Amino acid sequence: MTARNDGVRPDSPAERAQSRPGALRWAVLGVRLATEIALIVVLAIVGANATPELAARIALAVLLPLAAAAIWGSGIAPRARRRWPDPWRIGVETVLFLAAAAGLAAEGSIVAAIVFAIVTIGTAAAVRAVAPGG
């Protein structure tokens, strides 16, 4: 497909996304960053509350976010060396977000878990529609 400068509407999803106003794209990417940070924070909180033993709480509060960050950096992040293609990438994202939501639910924060899952997974889908490759 060739680039168009004739005022004709773009045909491919990538062309449509690139023709959208930059503000929407940056807003979605900003929310995306917030959901990624929230994932790390939620996993740290879940790990810190997972067990009554102090050493295990500290270990889980550190290791759960590190594991998620390692997975994210290895195949999900835009600058990953070997970025996984969709649907694998969104599948792994969904599993990570659902695991964090399950941890919240296990702690008794059911509403927070539901809201977290909806917002994070919804944002992951929105990124693909508004800012492909983001």
Q: Which two tokens stand for residue 52?
A: 């009554």
pLDDT of residue 133: 76
Write down the pLDDT at residue 14: 57
pLDDT for 122: 96
* pLDDT attached to residue 16: 59
The pair of three-digit structure tokens given for residue 114, joined into one six-digit string: 């539901």
In the chain, what's the furthest Cα-to-Cα distance? 67
**What mean pLDDT value characterizes the chain?**
88
Cis peptide before 87 (omega within 30 of 0): yes
pLDDT digits (tens, 9 = 90+) for 62-85: 999 999 999 999 999 989 999 999
For the chain, the domains span 21-130
What percent of the chain lies above the pLDDT cut of 90? 72
pLDDT at 86: 87
- The per-residue pLDDT for 22 is 86
Confirm if 84 and 76 have CB atoms less than 8 A apart. yes
Q: What is the pLDDT of residue 111?
A: 97
Give the count of beta carbons closer than 10 Å to the beta carbon of residue 39.
Answer: 22
